[in-house]
């Protein structure tokens, strides 16, 4: 009995607790329901409203007591759709919908869905309206306009099916859709051109009737009302008919009676900028009146990108040029006025130049290195005075901050009036024009071997050329050899490439002399060493190879490497550790070529050739060296970097050099090295195959001078 009584007591307590929890939950739910109803009652606006100033429908929603606009739309349904998406997205985050409580309660009672939330009710209401609109739009949607081929397919489809069915065996069914399409396509190909054009004309006529939905102009307009009248059918153009009311009266008769008025087609839009629409009025640089600055902008893939605002036009033009160079080849549209562009192009006779290249040329002519703007000239003019004034105001021991100077000069510039600023800009432009105009000076004497320049009575004597040994003027034998080559049967020029009829005995003699001088197997002559570098890499390297180039190599080496398809790597200047890292990283390549200058033209540094050759032997790579600035000068006998670094002649696999420096006044270049490499270049080097050979007079002079000027030992 005790156990039973005790158990009953526990059950009664447990039941009481459950009842208390249920009462608390009920009270909480009733309180939450009352709060939701109060929030809904406080919302006096709908989620979609017509905005009179803009003439569009606005969608908005209240979240956490704040009104958020979702945008403006042409139709109410589009705004409602945006509102529904917003309600779904922010549900459970204190989103208060804005449906009028009276309409909500009335609709809820009619549906008998008292437990549904305001959000779910609105979603259901809108989804029903959208479903009905979709069905209506599907009914009103016109049939798809067809092409000539599709019309032809409809015309022959039944006949093709009959023919294919007749060929089937008994009991088989025609199920192969591909066979029907293939048969119709074969018939289409058999049609002649006139028949195809006829079908296309029919299709075009059908498309025109579908696309042209002309409005009918009313000659009379009577009283129109949509209330209290019966709907009548009025003959209207187009695939669907709209019921009109009797109240429209004479307007309906007038609309039905008059002939259709065709609208003019709108011009096709192809984007605001670019080659397809060159008549744009926008430039790459414009003046922004509100901000009072020059704004640079560029169009990329049809979108306007602003590059920033600048104080002067030249600064904005510079930013614009950088953007054009950066985005070239990435659908970058320049914005130069078409009339000025076409006129300037005609005056230059450069009809094939692109618009981007034209703008770059035009802007590059207006600026040069060190050319300053009006603001920079003003800066230089007032900088010292500003520094003195600011230094005088400093306390003892304080230092003048550069930012303070900058702010002070900017303040002075802003204080200047418009005329003063324009005057400074005119001065800057005059200075830029003076810098850009670099007239050539005629020399009346041969090239000397000294340095510096001299000018007397307006005639310049040239003493700053590349003939550092003075071979052109200091060796009369060179000039005499040129005269002998002209006087002999060699002639003035050959007007041919080497492999055709452009090779004479003096060409072969010069190649043999250069090979003996460098200690190599063979040599091939080029019109210049630039051509020699341009034609080397694309012959030796493919996309399976890699080339490793010093970052300060000559421009001709860089351009030659760009012409080949090999993988390109640049190692730090004279950094053998970085070169070795690049060699290790490219071990999977078929062949690797190390390219370097023997003597670097701008810095005068000598390449560490011993270390480069050692790394090449270690990692099985070839070595190419440009010796234009070393041949005839470096080493005991002038044999270049190899001799200077203590290497045997012919250690480097490929050597390119020039005839325009050590001989003095000559021209031409050559490649010397292993026999296999030279033979390959003779067959495939494009400058060698498609450029005229060196003139006989120049070859004779260089051949004579090479025995005097090249090599301090006289060889």
State the catalytic residues. 601, 629, 661
β-partners of residue 343 are: none
Q: How far apart are alpha carbons 57 and 72 in whole angstroms?
A: 5
Element (H, E) at 594: strand 592-597
Other CB atoms within a 10 A radius of the CB of residue 327 amount to 18
Residues 6+ apart with CB under 8 A from 220: 250, 251, 253, 254
Alpha helices in 214-279 (DSSP H): 250-257
Element (H, E) at 656: strand 654-658
Element (H, E) at 243: strand 243-245
Q: Quickly list DSSP for 397-423.
A: T----HHHHHHHHHHHHHHS-HHHHHH
C-alpha radius of gyration, the chain, whole number = 44
Q: How far apart are alpha carbons 701 and 475 in whole angstroms?
A: 10
Phi–psi pair at 310, nearest 5 degrees: -135, 155
- Contact between residue 181 and residue 204 where contact means Cβ atoms under 8 Å apart: no
- Contact between residue 665 and residue 475 where contact means Cβ atoms under 8 Å apart: no
Q: How far apart are alpha carbons 490 and 659 in whole angstroms?
A: 20
Query: Taking the C-alpha atoms of 375, 377, 381 and 382 in order, what is their torsion angle to the nearest 10 degrees?
Result: 20
- Contact between residue 654 and residue 675 where contact means Cβ atoms under 8 Å apart: no
Element (H, E) at 49: strand 48-51
Residues 6+ apart with CB under 8 A from 526: 532, 535, 668, 669, 670, 671, 685, 687, 688, 691
Residues 6+ apart with CB under 8 A from 121: 99, 104, 107, 108, 113
- Contact between residue 687 and residue 681 where contact means Cβ atoms under 8 Å apart: no
């Amino acid at each position: 009995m005790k156990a039973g009584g005790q158990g009953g007591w526990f059950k009664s307590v447990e039941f009481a607790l459950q009842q208390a929890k249920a009462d608390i939950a009920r009270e909480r739910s009733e309180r939450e329901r009352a709060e939701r109803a109060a929030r809904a009652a406080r919302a006096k606006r709908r989620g979609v409203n017509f905005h009179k100033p803009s003439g569009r429908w606005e969608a908005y929603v209240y979240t956490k007591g704040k009104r958020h606009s979702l945008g403006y739309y042409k139709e109410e349904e589009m705004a409602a759709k945006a509102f529904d998406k917003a309600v779904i997205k922010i549900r459970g985050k204190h989103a208060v919908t804005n449906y009028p409580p009276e309409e909500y309660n009335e609709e809820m009672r009619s549906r008998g869905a008292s437990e549904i939330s305001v959000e779910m009710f609105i979603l259901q209401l809108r989804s029903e309206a959208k479903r009905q609109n979709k069905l209506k739009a599907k009914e009103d949607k016109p049939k798809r306009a067809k092409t000539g081929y599709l019309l032809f397919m409809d015309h022959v489809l039944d006949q093709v099916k009959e023919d294919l069915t007749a060929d089937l065996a008994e009991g088989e069914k025609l199920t192969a859709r591909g066979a029907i399409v293939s048969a119709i396509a074969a018939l289409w190909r058999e049609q002649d051109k006139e028949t195809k054009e006829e079908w296309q004309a029919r299709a075009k006529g059908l498309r025109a009737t579908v696309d042209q939905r002309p409005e009918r102009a009313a000659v009379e307009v009577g009283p129109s009302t949509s209330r209290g009248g019966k709907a009548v059918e009025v003959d209207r153009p187009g695939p669907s008919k709209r019921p009109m009311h009797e109240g429209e009266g004479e307007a309906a008769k007038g609309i039905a009676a008059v002939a259709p008025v065709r609208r003019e087609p709108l011009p096709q839009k192809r984007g605001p900028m670019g080659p397809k629409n060159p008549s744009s009025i926008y430039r790459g640089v414009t003046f922004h009146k509100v901000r009072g600055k020059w704004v640079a902008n560029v169009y990329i893939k049809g979108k306007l990108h602003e590059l920033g605002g600048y104080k002067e036009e030249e600064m904005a033009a510079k930013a614009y040029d950088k953007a054009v160079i950066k985005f070239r080849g990435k659908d970058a549209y320049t914005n130069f006025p078409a009339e000025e562009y076409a006129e300037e192009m005609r005056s230059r006779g450069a009809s094939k130049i692109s618009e981007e290249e034209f703008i770059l040329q035009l802007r590059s002519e207006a600026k040069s290195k060190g050319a300053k703007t009006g603001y920079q000239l003003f800066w230089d003019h007032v900088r010292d005075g500003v520094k003195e004034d600011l230094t005088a105001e400093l306390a003892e021991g304080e230092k003048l901050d550069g930012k303070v100077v900058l702010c002070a000069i900017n303040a002075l510039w802003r204080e200047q009036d418009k005329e003063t600023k324009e005057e400074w800009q005119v001065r800057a432009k005059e200075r830029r024009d003076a810098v850009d105009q670099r007239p050539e000076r005629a020399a009346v004497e041969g090239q000397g071997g000294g340095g510096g320049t001299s000018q007397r009575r307006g005639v310049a004597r040239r003493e700053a050329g590349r003939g550092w040994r003075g071979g052109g003027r200091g060796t009369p034998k060179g000039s005499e050899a040129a005269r002998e080559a002209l006087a002999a049967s060699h002639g003035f020029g050959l007007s041919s490439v080497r492999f055709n009829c452009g090779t004479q005995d003096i060409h072969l003699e010069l190649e043999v002399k250069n090979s003996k001088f460098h200690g190599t197997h063979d040599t091939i002559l080029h019109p210049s060493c630039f051509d020699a570098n341009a034609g080397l890499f694309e012959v030796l390297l493919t996309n399976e190879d890699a080339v490793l180039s010093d970052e300060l190599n000559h421009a001709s080496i860089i351009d030659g490497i760009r012409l080949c398809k090999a993988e390109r790597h640049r190692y730090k200047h004279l950094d053998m550790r970085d070169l070795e890292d690049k060699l290790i990283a490219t071990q999977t390549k078929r062949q690797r070529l190390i390219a370097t200058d023997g003597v670097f033209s701008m810095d005068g540094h000598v390449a560490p050739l011993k270390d480069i050759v050692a790394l090449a032997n270690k990692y099985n790579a070839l070595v190419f060296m440009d010796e234009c600035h070393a041949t005839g000068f470096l080493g005991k006998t002038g044999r270049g970097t190899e001799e200077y670094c203590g290497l045997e002649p012919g250690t480097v696999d490929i050597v390119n050099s020039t005839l325009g420096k050590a001989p003095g006044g000559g021209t031409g270049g050559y490649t010397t090295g292993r026999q296999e490499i030279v033979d390959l270049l003779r067959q495939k080097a494009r400058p060698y195959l498609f450029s005229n050979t060196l003139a006989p007079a120049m070859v004779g002079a260089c051949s004579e001078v090479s025995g005097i000027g090249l090599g301090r030992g006289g060889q």
